[in-house]
Amino acid sequence: SLKKRLPASKILIPHSASNLEGVKGFRGQEKIVVLYSNKKKPIQPRASLYDVAICTSKAAVDVLETHKINARYYIAIGPQSEKALLARGYSNVSCAKEASYESIVEAVKGVKRKNV
């Protein structure tokens, strides 16, 4: 959608190492800077059921799925994470009002008020 709307210009695109093809091809001279990459690391869940699982990215949802981590409630930092949770069949999913840690804290407080 951005490709169609932006005028030809020099564009800086700070991005993760994943899906770089999705950000190439602007009409201007884009410079894509890889800021980080998600590296998978083995984890040992400490419980079979958590009160709340917070997903700050689609990759975090992948970790839940891979390690069969279950929670009573799931909080997504934004619509992409929320969509990934719902697509995988998770229930009791909430989305933070904005993509910030402060908003996630408020979402957790909201879940806590639901008697977790």
Whether residue 81 lies inside any domain: the answer is yes
pLDDT at 29: 62
Tokens of 54: 């917070």
The backbone torsions φ and ψ at residue 18, rounded to the nearest 5 degrees and listed phi first, read -85, 150
Say how far apart CA 94 and CA 39 lie, in whole Å: 26
- pLDDT at position 25: 65
The boundaries of the domain holding residue 14 are 8-36
Q: What pLDDT sits at residue 92?
A: 93
Lookup: tokens for 3: 């490709």
How many domains in the chain? 2
pTM for the whole structure? 0.69
Residues 53 and 30 both lie in one domain: no
Average pLDDT per run of 10 along the chain, which is 116 residues long? 63 70 63 73 82 91 88 94 95 92 90 70
Find out whether 92 and 70 touch, Cβ atoms under 8 Å: no
Best CA proximity match to 51, nearest among 112, 98, 95 = 112
Residues 70 and 107 in one domain: yes
pLDDT, residue 40, reads 73
Instruction: Please check whether residues 98 and 58 belong to one and the same domain.
Output: yes
Domain containing residue 75: CATH number: 3.40.50.10090
Residues 32 and 53 in one domain: no
Place of tokens 């410079």: 31
57/20 Cα distance (integer angstroms): 16
| pLDDT at residue number 44 | 82
